[in-house]
Amino acid sequence: PLAQVLPPARFSLHRQQRSPAMAFRRLGLRGAARRIAVRPVLPALLAVLATLLCAAVGTLRASGSAAALAPLSLAFAGASPVRPVRGAQPPTVRPAGNVQQASATEFSLALESGMPVVVDFYADWCGPCKMLVPELEEVARRLQGKVKIIKIDSDAEPELASKYRIEALPTLLFFGANSDKPLGKFEGALMRDDLQKLVEKTVFPA
């Protein structure tokens, strides 16, 4: 008789271990059963929320709304350069005024113009690059007719960026008249007065 009782007891205990919720229901603890039933759903809900959050951040970056988070270190001595990170980019904004947007071909023609050339390697997603735009425009206005200042999109011209080892943005390269070998290189952004002094000191050595 004892051998006949033990197998069902082991089978009943095995089922209780595999299904605690069922055991609680049998004991009348419906609240505990509900909590056990909900717990497996929580990880899935957290995973969905994390996915939605990542998608929202990616949308903000693509729309350019995250640009407001860029550090405003230009208000001090200068703005630190940023390392190129490829990702979603906002629509290209072509600079206008005294600073000319240049392709690889236009860059070669500028070097043959007989004037010193300053090249600003930038990217649309680079915060310090955008902060440098008005400073560079003012310097180009002050030195108009003496120095040619152009801008090159490092994403649009990766071969040029690789040739001149552009590793941070913005990067300024300084060329003498009719020369394709840079006289100097500067990474980061400066205020207009300091930037003008740097240009004059590099392309017009005493």
| Pairwise CA distance, residues 193 & 197, whole Å | 6
Cβ neighbours around 99 below 10 Å, total: 22
Residue 170: asked if its preceding bond is cis (omega within 30°), the reply is yes
Listed residue (103, 112, 133, 126) closest to 179, CA to CA: 112
Rounded to 5°, the CA angle 188-110-113 comes to 130
Q: State the Cα torsion 87-92-93-96 to the nearest 10°.
A: 120
Active site residue ranges: 126, 129
| Pairwise CA distance, residues 203 & 199, whole Å | 6
3-state secondary structure of 88: coil
Q: How many helices (H) and strands (E) does the chain have?
A: 8, 7
